[in-house]
Structure 1
Amino acid sequence: MLKLERMSEADFNMVKGKMIADYAKDKIKVGHWSEREALELSKEALDKILNEGISTPNHYLLNAYEDEVKVGFVWMNKFNNEMFVNNTCIFEEFQENEYELKFIELIEEKADELDIKKINIHSYGYNEKNIAVYKKMGYDITDIYLNKVI
């Protein structure tokens, strides 16, 4: 059974590099940052937002476990009565197990525990697989940004 548990400082230090690298890759892919600047900008953004690491108020860094095996993590933050899902990750070796729907269910359970009235999830437009999962779970698309380099 999949479950979420609070991330330790050591766990955060292990996944922080992945979070920085993945964010940088996404920003490069959508054309917001150049390859030259992306890693530094990504690190600066993460350090600014999570300025107290796992103790940053209203931020929830949680590991996902199947039995006792760590299969991924989620980072969420609470603002007023809303939850913002900043990052979800299912580690590559577990992606065939179709944890995506279970992840969303666990996020919704955590939000309910915190008396959250609305969950917001961001997805880059190219990530059609994730968008399909969110739509399947009843999430509506509220914004679409379109860009063209000229």
Structure 2
Amino acid sequence: MTESVDKPFKRRRSHADERRNKRVNLAYNEREFQIIELAASRVHRAPSAYAASAALSVAAGAVSPLPMTDRELIRAFQDADVTLNRIGNNLNQIAAVLNSRGDVTAEHVAAVFDVVSRAAQALMQAGLDVARNQVER
């Protein structure tokens, strides 16, 4: 029998002389499952074995997930990024209409671009500051 280079030899892991007979049924949406599946494949484990190991590590205090405040902060940055992208799309639509009528001047466009550009730079700087604080912890 030949082993594939892509797939390392898999064997059942022993669980401290005690068989695992308690089950928990986990349900994921497609995106969540893809995240679990990718993480599991990186350590050459099945998604269910990876999820069990991760849950036990967190429960035992061996690893700690991001505190809720950090997750909320990251989500706020993601929401702000989406909003900023929507603003940019709306400005493009407004500029297209105004340009077709000739009602807009270069100064108007430059002023709006400057405001949006400063907002994007401030958002980016805030994200970098948060990332630096995470590394320093």
Q: TM-score range by the shorter chain?
A: under 0.3
Q: Which has the higher contact order (CA 8 A, sep 6+)?
A: 1
Higher helix share: 2
Scaled by the length of structure 1, the TM-score of the pair is: 0.25
Higher strand share: 1
Q: Is the radius of gyration larger for structure 1 or structure 2?
A: 2
Scaled by the length of structure 2, the TM-score of the pair is: 0.27
